[in-house]
Amino acid sequence: MSSKQNRTRVTSHDVAALAGVSQSAVSRAFTLGSSISDEKRERILEAARKLSYVPNSIASSLITRRSKTIAIILGNIDNPFYILVLKAFIEKLQESGRQVFTFTVDPKSSADDAIMRVLGYQVDGIVLTSAQISTRTTSLCLDRGIPIILFNRYIPGSDASVVRCDNVGGGRLLAEAFIKARAKRFAIVKGDPMGTTSQDRVQGFTERLLEAGIARSAIQEIEGNSVYDDACKAVLQAYADGAAPLPDAIFGVNDIMAMGAIDAIRHRLGARIPEDVMIGGFDDIPEGRRAPYELTTIRQPIDEMVDETLKILDVAAEEGRVQADRHHLAPTRLIWRKTIRRPT
Amino acid sequence: MSSKQNRTRVTSHDVAALAGVSQSAVSRAFTLGSSISDEKRERILEAARKLSYVPNSIASSLITRRSKTIAIILGNIDNPFYILVLKAFIEKLQESGRQVFTFTVDPKSSADDAIMRVLGYQVDGIVLTSAQISTRTTSLCLDRGIPIILFNRYIPGSDASVVRCDNVGGGRLLAEAFIKARAKRFAIVKGDPMGTTSQDRVQGFTERLLEAGIARSAIQEIEGNSVYDDACKAVLQAYADGAAPLPDAIFGVNDIMAMGAIDAIRHRLGARIPEDVMIGGFDDIPEGRRAPYELTTIRQPIDEMVDETLKILDVAAEEGRVQADRHHLAPTRLIWRKTIRRPT
DNA sequence: GTGAAAGCGCTAACAT
DNA sequence: ATGTTAGCGCTTTCAC
């Protein structure tokens, strides 16, 4: 079926020769909507098939200055929420004939290195989730007409576009659920202290509690570092051996930390949920819906957020320029399951 | 800090002009180990910094025919095991200055489309996990000198290299653990029927059971489709309302399905684990270690497998040719936790 | 509608 | 060690 290692690759010239046309005709045959007769296109495509010709996208990118690839920089790949986001981006971009460069970066360190690298690959856009970026790098991208979108995070003073959900509002929603359930003493398992996502959720939550007359001293803050293990350990450390009495309600600033808190409380501390302590999360990842958790949480509309991001990318691609500082705020809503008592 | 949209991008010529050298000198300044004086390189790098010059990797790829990018095609992104694999690849490739194109593909459909696409981007290698590929596409890649590696799967008659773990042996290991625990009646929650991974694990498991004198009729097979939800539902359907008596032992062909089985049995069927029914998994994902599961399972050595894959990729890159049909088999081992009774 | 010609921004001989 | 030259494989005017 296949020939021996044919060292020399097949180019549009080879196809042109076989089909008896010019090299530019071959190019046109592969470009939808270019002026070429159907008859000729068919003949060229046939020749291409015979030779197993695949157009060289690298050469094409060099000249068109668009690579049909988007870079996605992930800060916390251990959080299933961001896998959901990654999956949504990959699938939707694939559908529209684009591919994605996936990078991971320590949430605490800067994404600048990764960005400089993809800059050389002429990516058509950069999506950044939970990672830092300098304003210098941002304007470098923007100057070159490469849109950069902060997904679920923002950087004050940055020109990058941002797409995020209403983290403050979500925090408030959860606070209200706890208040209605008559909780008096609270704990918050916080995520990355540098990230606006965690900050905003904590702020909205606390704000609403204070409005309801809860004393600040009745709200304990615990560092969960955005991951299951740390959240689990932190809760354990805070309440093991009666170090402190268990609070009435715990807010896990994301679902995966809420799950860590649940496991610590139920399996290590031997308390019941929601009878002894109530727990609320944020994100609504599928894992939280499973039988051992049935987590009451705040849902982020991933699809809407991803679509909105794609829209910004598309506009940039069509107009050939970046519209700086677009800002989309998606609504959140409370999903009742079983970790918060529901007032009758 | 940043100038207005400067439409015209900066190239090596601009840097050359500013530094007062030839354009090729600029190229050399950015290529480690090329003959250029330290003094001149410094001067060029300085000029480059002033202009925020980033070498155009696209142009470089066009000429060197190597893009420093690897494509990873994921069949089942819902299985956390493959996220672990993806993460390992991304991190290790990033370290060595390479980036990855991530693709997802329905495990049942073929990866051919995705492969044809990356072929145009001159990728330096393709890693395929749980997805089909035609032999025609395989030899197309191999002919062009692009190594393709099947990760944890193989295709009889294919020339692609494969790196996988000893799935048959792992299945046997688990069967032995069950035999020692005196199980008599078994169930297997199977994964993708087309995938060699599931097939091999089932085969090893069954084989060992038969050797121990278990009758084939004492081994029930259930379709779990490689995902949590389907496994959970299938187990429920098989045993709800006493449709059939619960078996002594269930083999979840991967951890995520074993977790689905655990939740179904404990929360829906109200049986105890391991007292009423024992459960074993395969993969050893972190989720299985958590308090609600503590799953006894077979560990796959991800790091070893990824490193082995990288080695094949590197050899191909250095020698400029693909050594067809390399085959690495990684050992598995049993990790005892709490879902199988341990004989004293 | 079609072909010829001119590059895209870089690397790799080839001289010097 | 350095500059000059010739492309990598394609897209895109520009004539016809």
Q: For residue range B46-100, what is the model confidence (pLDDT) as tens digits? A: 999 999 999 999 999 999 999 999 999 999 999 999 999 999 999 999 999 999 9
Given a cut of 50, whether residue B284 has pLDDT beyond it is yes
CB pairs under 8 A between A and B: 139
- Out of B1, B5, B58, name the one closest to residue A121 (CB): B58
Buried b (16+ CB within 10 A) or exposed e, A69-91: bbbbbbbbbbbbbbbbbbbbbbe
What is the C-alpha to C-alpha distance for residues A327 and B230, in angstroms, rounded to an integer? 39
How far is CA B302 from each of CA B35, B250, B255, B305, rounded to the nearest angstrom? 40, 24, 14, 5
What is the C-alpha to C-alpha distance for residues A287 and A289, in angstroms, rounded to an integer? 5
State residue B159's pLDDT score.
85
Which pLDDT band holds residue A1 (cuts at 50, 70, 90)?
very low
B28/C10 CA-to-C1' distance in Å = 11
Reported as a single tens digit per residue, the pLDDT across B168-214 is 999 999 999 999 999 999 999 999 998 999 999 999 999 999 999 99
Given a cut of 90, whether residue A218 has pLDDT beyond it is yes
Q: What is the mean pLDDT of residues A117-126?
A: 95
Given a cut of 90, whether residue A111 has pLDDT beyond it is yes
Residue where the block lists tokens 């290790």: B92
CB distance B87–A104 less than 8 Å? yes
CB distance B103–A102 less than 8 Å? no
- Out of A102, A118, A139, name the one closest to residue B1 (CB): A139
CB distance B94–A103 less than 8 Å? yes
Strand D neighbours with CB under 7 A? A 9, 11-13, 23-24, 27-28, 30-31, 55-56, 59-60, 62-64; B 21-25, 28, 35-37, 39-40, 59, 62-63, 65
Given a cut of 90, whether residue B4 has pLDDT beyond it is no
What is the C-alpha to C-alpha distance for residues A320 and B7, in angstroms, rounded to an integer? 10
Which two structure tokens, joined as six digits, stand for A244? Answer: 């402190």
B25/C13 CA-to-C1' distance in Å = 15
Q: What is the mean pLDDT of residues A149-165?
A: 91
State which residue of chain A sits closest to B52, comparing Cα positions: A140
What is the C-alpha to C-alpha distance for residues A150 and B165, in angstroms, rounded to an integer? 39
DSSP code of residue A4:
S
The nucleotide minimizing the C1' distance to residue B10's CA is: C9
State which residue of chain A sits closest to B269, comparing Cα positions: A291
Contacts of A248 (CB under 8 A, 6+ apart): A178, A182, A183, A184, A185, A186, A277, A278
State residue B6's pLDDT score.
47
Contacts of B269 (CB under 8 A, 6+ apart): B235, B236, B239, B240, B246
Report the interhelical angle of A38-51 vs A12-19 (nearest 10°).
Answer: 120
Strand partners, A335: A297
Which two structure tokens, joined as six digits, stand for B257? Answer: 């399905």
State residue B7's pLDDT score.
53
Distance from CA of A164 to the nearest CA of B (A): 24
Cβ–Cβ under 8 Å, residues A143 and B2: yes
What is the C-alpha to C-alpha distance for residues A203 and A219, in angstroms, rounded to an integer? 12
State which residue of chain A sits closest to B65, comparing Cα positions: A58
Which pLDDT band holds residue A326 (cuts at 50, 70, 90)?
confident
Contacts of B35 (CB under 8 A, 6+ apart): B28
B95/C12 CA-to-C1' distance in Å = 27
Distance from CA of A102 to the nearest CA of B (A): 6
| Range list of H helices, chain A | 12-19, 23-29, 38-51, 57-64, 80-95, 112-120, 135-143, 167-180, 196-211, 228-239, 255-263, 302-319
Which residue type is seen at B310?
A: L
> Which of B121, B122, B322 should one mutate to test binding to chain A, selecting the residue with the greatest count of A CBs within 10 A?
B121
Cβ–Cβ under 8 Å, residues A90 and B104: yes
Backbone φ and ψ of B222, nearest 5°: -130, 140
- Out of A87, A99, A103, name the one closest to residue B117 (CB): A99
DSSP code of residue A110:
B
State residue A272's pLDDT score.
98
Which two structure tokens, joined as six digits, stand for A305? Answer: 């957020």
Given a cut of 90, whether residue A329 has pLDDT beyond it is yes
Reported as a single tens digit per residue, the pLDDT across A39-85 is 999 999 999 999 999 999 999 999 999 999 999 999 999 999 999 99
State residue B5's pLDDT score.
41
Beta carbons within 10 angstroms of residue B61's beta carbon: 24
State residue B123's pLDDT score.
97
How far is CA B73 from each of CA A310, B110, B148, rounded to the nearest angstrom? 22, 11, 11
A158/C14 CA-to-C1' distance in Å = 49
Given a cut of 50, whether residue B274 has pLDDT beyond it is yes
- Out of A54, A91, A286, name the one closest to residue B119 (CB): A54
State residue B1's pLDDT score.
35
B30/D12 CA-to-C1' distance in Å = 31
Given a cut of 50, whether residue A6 has pLDDT beyond it is no
The nucleotide minimizing the C1' distance to residue A120's CA is: C9
Beta carbons within 10 angstroms of residue B230's beta carbon: 17
State residue B3's pLDDT score.
35
DSSP code of residue A194:
T
Backbone φ and ψ of B108, nearest 5°: -80, -25
State residue A155's pLDDT score.
87
| Nucleotides of chain D touched by protein CB (<7 A) | 1-5, 7-13
Which residue type is seen at B258?
A: A
Mean pLDDT across chain A: 94
Tell if the pTM clears 0.75, that is, is over it.
yes
Which pLDDT band holds residue A324 (cuts at 50, 70, 90)?
low
Q: What is the mean pLDDT of residues A290-297?
A: 98
DSSP code of residue A336:
-
- Low-confidence winner among A15-29, B78-92, B107-121 (lowest mean pLDDT): B107-121
Mean pLDDT across chain B: 94
